[in-house]
Structure 1
Amino acid sequence: MKTNLTIFCCLLLALWLPGDLKAQEPLDKYIAEAISNNLGLKQQDFALQKSLYALKEAKGLFLPEVEFNTSYVTSGGGRKIEIPIGDLLNPVYSTLNNLTNSSRFPQVKNVSQAFNPTNYYDAKLHTTMPLYNAEVIYNSRIKKEQISYQQAQLSVYKRELVKQVKLGYYGYQQSLQSLKILENGLLLANENLRINQSMVKNGKAIRTVVSRAENEVAGLQAQLGDAKATSLNAAAYFNFLLNRPLDAAIEADFQQPLVKDTTAGGQREELAAMASATQLNELSLRMTKSNMLPKLSTFLDLGSQGDFIKVNGETPYYLFGVTLSWNIFSGNRNNNKIQQAQLELRSAHTQLEQVEQQLQMEVLTAKNRLEAANQAFSAAQSQVSLSEQYFKDQQRLYKEGQALYLELLDAQTRLINDQQKQSIAYLNVQTRQTELERANASYQY
């Protein structure tokens, strides 16, 4: 019995021995793997790439646009215009024929010309290019700022992913520690059952203590089954974050919470995203105001037109022009849009101030929670030491016949519960450290 208890205590001590810096290597490796493989992060990266192509699309609006247009038209009937050429020329031609005593000037007929063209084609290259359009300029700036916003959003998701990976890893480690505690507790319960069976056999105890010991073994076996299921679920969630098979093996390291300087951090990516969103609202307001400015563009047509399948020196043509468009009045629609954009900009500034205050509160809260978690963990360590000594004392007294089995069982249960509380307190410290690291944006990729 003494040998088993010694082994049990050594195993528990091994769980809480301080680790060196190498203990972070598996976790850092898993974080890098998550950043590389996480599906949610890939979706954010796709959105960033989409913003890059949107900027290229906006820059394309400054370049000429060339398109080929062709049409063929034929018609029959419809409105016509009568041209009295015969009525005008035939009297003159008749007089000339009489004077010259010849028929050199024949009679002509009146002409009836339809308005719609018949057997007519028009093929051309139509080129347009903006010379000045403020909306195009601000649209390009907005697309460029959207890239900055999407980059900030990507960084926010990446940092949140690091937090979730750490919490998932620590949760899985805690589940393994809980398993180890229950397995060692089951060893003690089986040893107590063996001792009670021996004492009953030798007439030093009654059968009731054996039944109670068997019930204790069965209870610990049930807890162990639940703990195994919890550990499997924790491993599956961690592998899900890394986009790996849910049953993939995980390398675990047990260590004391590393004392890190998590007070010095960088700028929160949320603030960068909010600043970028505010800038987008500012540019949107300017673009709305630019609707009152004139728009200047030019165009050039190079083509050929005439009777179908007839191309000669007369059919080619060009048409060049410059257009100026200026919105003078639109029922105050643009002024109302400007008012809406100004309100959105004010709302963005207010939201930015609110986010700054919320992040400051988050840092302060995280510090206080970490301090409380460290104190709770220290108290849990002390309580485990007391429970271990109390269990040893009760075990010795029980062997000497000076303590009841219920007292020994109570000491054993208290020891297992305190060890579980220590494991949870240890996880809580790691969680609070991760939250403070996230609040300060101090993790370096």
Structure 2
Amino acid sequence: MLTLLIIKNRFYFVLLFTLLSFSVANAQDVLKAYVDTAFKNNIVLQQKNVSLEKAQYALKSAKGLFLPNVAFQGAYQTADGGRNIPLPLGDLMNPVYNTLNQITGSSNFPMLENQTINFLPKNFHDAKLRTTVPIINTDIIYNKRIAEQQLVLKEFEVQIYKRDLVKEIKTAYYNYLSALAAVDVYKSGLQLAREGLRVNEKLLENGKGLPAYVLRSQSEVESVNATLLDAEQKVNNARLYFNFLLNRDANEAIIVEAANDKSELAKVEGLLAGLNIANQREELKALGQVEGISKNVQKMNGQFAVPKLGAFLDVGTQSEGFHFNSNTRYYMVGLQLDIPIFSGNRNSNKQKESSLDLRNAQLNSNLVAQQLGLSAKVSQNNLRSAYQTYQSSQKQFEAAATYLRLIDRGYLAGANSFVETIDARNQYTSSKILVNINLYKVLTAMANMERETASYVIN
């Protein structure tokens, strides 16, 4: 029998441990599922992803500048009047041709008329395919590097907002649970107040109570009921904000998994024991990219004196009267060289301006690094304060619960007054609410510290 009892006890212990573990894991899974939903649906995060996608296309465009560019170009011109060039071909060649015809006794040399050539083209077209390719151009090299850095910067901005979103979701979820816990406490307080009213009404019926006690009990019932309605409204507001973060229907229900005190609060001691500040937070990495962009802009502006060389190939046709034959077709190959000589010191001024931008980015990086370190230490101090307040409220609740039991017994025995029972009941309700509020304040402080130390794992 003893062995059977031991086996049963072990079985129940394992079963209880398994259920508790499942409850804790389930609570964590619910909150993580909400975070994943927000990553998919949050509008601001979608805007950040759109900016990231734009940066990807900007990088592709910057890489495309290295490839040849082919374009069709067409032109049509016609004119009349203007200057003319007289060509007296008849006056020059006809005497010679006449003499040759006499000598040869033939008419092989016809007579020519004088010609007039107009300067302006008439019914002239030029259609061609122009292919251009850069050979030496430092601007497109640095533009590609800057586009790559801007893409990485956008990726960091997405990560930064994700961390902020995780904190907001956890805080909103804990606020919702805290509001629900307050409603439960007020409902319990309302039951106690109604029970007090019932007891006083019975005492009055039996000639042992006072009408003033009944009136006071009714007033207490109405007061607690009004407080309950206000608490329920806070629950609705908390649900609205939580669903707003997830970009879903405002009235959609929230899965409630109350926090396990021991499992969650066990982490607090470790967080307070040491402060692990991530040296490579996304904010610092983003500022590093800003510095890199400023450096590349400075280098690009410093290369203004480097010549730019490009090549082109034209394949087309040109004629008057829209003819297309072997005489109208042509091709042209060439090189284009651009060497800057003087531009009113604009290039040197741009270089100095970019140097100041780089200096400002470096100073900003140092400032933000100090601010992040300060924020992490402040979040740890806030967690310590919230945890100590929670421990104090637990002791206060235990004392209030004991006091309420003693006063209730004394009142029924006639040793304590009704006012004392109301005061004891209010202390009990307030201390119970305070325990729940302080518990979720601890969890909110943990979420804030998790954000400040960038310890949440984002896939």
Q: Residue 205 of structure 1 aligns with which residue? A: 209
Q: Residue 166 of structure 1 aligns with which residue? A: 170
The CA deviation string for residues 33-72 of structure 1, in whole angstroms up to 9 with x for no partner, is 1112212111111111111110000111001111112223
Q: Secondary structure at the match of 1:86?
A: helix
CA distance in 2, matches of 1:118, 1:223: 93
CA distance in 2, matches of 1:272, 1:102: 95
Contact 2:383/2:442 (8 A) holds in 1: yes
Where in structure 2 are the equivalents of 1:228-239 lying within 5 Å?
Answer: 228-239=232-243
| TM-fit CA distance, 1:290 | 1.9
Q: Are 2:266 and 1:259 aligned?
A: yes
Q: Residue 383 of structure 1 aligns with which residue? A: 396
Q: Residue 300 of structure 2 aligns with which residue? A: 287
Q: Secondary structure at the match of 1:416?
A: helix
Q: Secondary structure at the match of 2:373?
A: helix
Question: Which runs of 5 or more residues in structure 2 are unaligned?
Answer: 1-19
The CA deviation string for residues 119-163 of structure 1, in whole angstroms up to 9 with x for no partner, is 322221111100010000000110011111001000000111111
Q: Secondary structure at the match of 1:205?
A: coil
Give the counterpart of 1:40 among 36, 44, 47: 44
| TM-fit CA distance, 1:91 | 3.8
For residue 312 of structure 2, what is the amino acid of its counterpart? F
Q: Secondary structure at the match of 1:331?
A: coil
Q: Are 2:57 and 1:56 aligned?
A: no
Q: Residue 145 of structure 1 aligns with which residue? A: 149
Q: Residue 75 of structure 2 aligns with which residue? A: 71
The CA deviation string for residues 356-380 of structure 1, in whole angstroms up to 9 with x for no partner, is 1001101111111111111000000
Q: Are 2:326 and 1:319 aligned?
A: no
Where in structure 2 are the equivalents of 1:125-140 lying within 5 Å?
Answer: 125-140=129-144
Q: Which shifted more, 143-152 or 30-39?
A: 30-39
Q: Residue 443 of structure 1 aligns with which residue? A: 456
| TM-fit CA distance, 1:307 | 2.9
Q: Which shifted more, 246-255 or 215-224?
A: 246-255
| TM-fit CA distance, 1:310 | 2.0
RMSD after superposition: 1.8
CA distance in 1, matches of 2:230, 2:297: 56
TM-score between the two structures when normalised by the length of structure 1:
0.92
The CA deviation string for residues 375-406 of structure 1, in whole angstroms up to 9 with x for no partner, is 00000000011111111111111111121111
TM-score between the two structures when normalised by the length of structure 2:
0.90
The CA deviation string for residues 302-324 of structure 1, in whole angstroms up to 9 with x for no partner, is 11122323222222111000111
CA distance in 1, matches of 2:143, 2:233: 55
Q: Secondary structure at the match of 2:76?
A: strand
The CA deviation string for residues 230-268 of structure 1, in whole angstroms up to 9 with x for no partner, is 101101111111122111111112222343345446431
| TM-fit CA distance, 1:424 | 1.6
Q: Are 2:195 and 1:195 aligned?
A: no
Q: Are 2:310 and 1:306 aligned?
A: no
For residue 367 of structure 1, what is the amino acid of its counterpart? Q
CA distance in 2, matches of 1:106, 1:251: 106
Q: Secondary structure at the match of 1:108?
A: coil
Q: Are 2:343 and 1:342 aligned?
A: no
CA distance in 2, matches of 1:53, 1:23: 41
Where in structure 2 are the equivalents of 1:358-397 lying within 5 Å?
Answer: 358-397=371-410
Q: Secondary structure at the match of 1:293?
A: coil
For residue 123 of structure 1, what is the amino acid of its counterpart? A
Question: Which runs of 5 or more residues in structure 1 are unaligned?
Answer: 1-16
Q: Which shifted more, 187-196 or 247-256?
A: 247-256
| TM-fit CA distance, 1:419 | 1.6
For residue 283 of structure 2, what is the amino acid of its counterpart? E
The CA deviation string for residues 261-294 of structure 1, in whole angstroms up to 9 with x for no partner, is 4544643111111111111111111111122211
Q: Are 2:247 and 1:243 aligned?
A: yes
Q: Secondary structure at the match of 1:259?
A: helix
Q: Residue 9 of structure 1 aligns with which residue? A: none
Contact 2:277/2:373 (8 A) holds in 1: no
For residue 112 of structure 1, what is the amino acid of its counterpart? T
Contact 2:307/2:340 (8 A) holds in 1: yes
Q: Residue 5 of structure 1 aligns with which residue? A: none
Q: Are 2:86 and 1:82 aligned?
A: yes
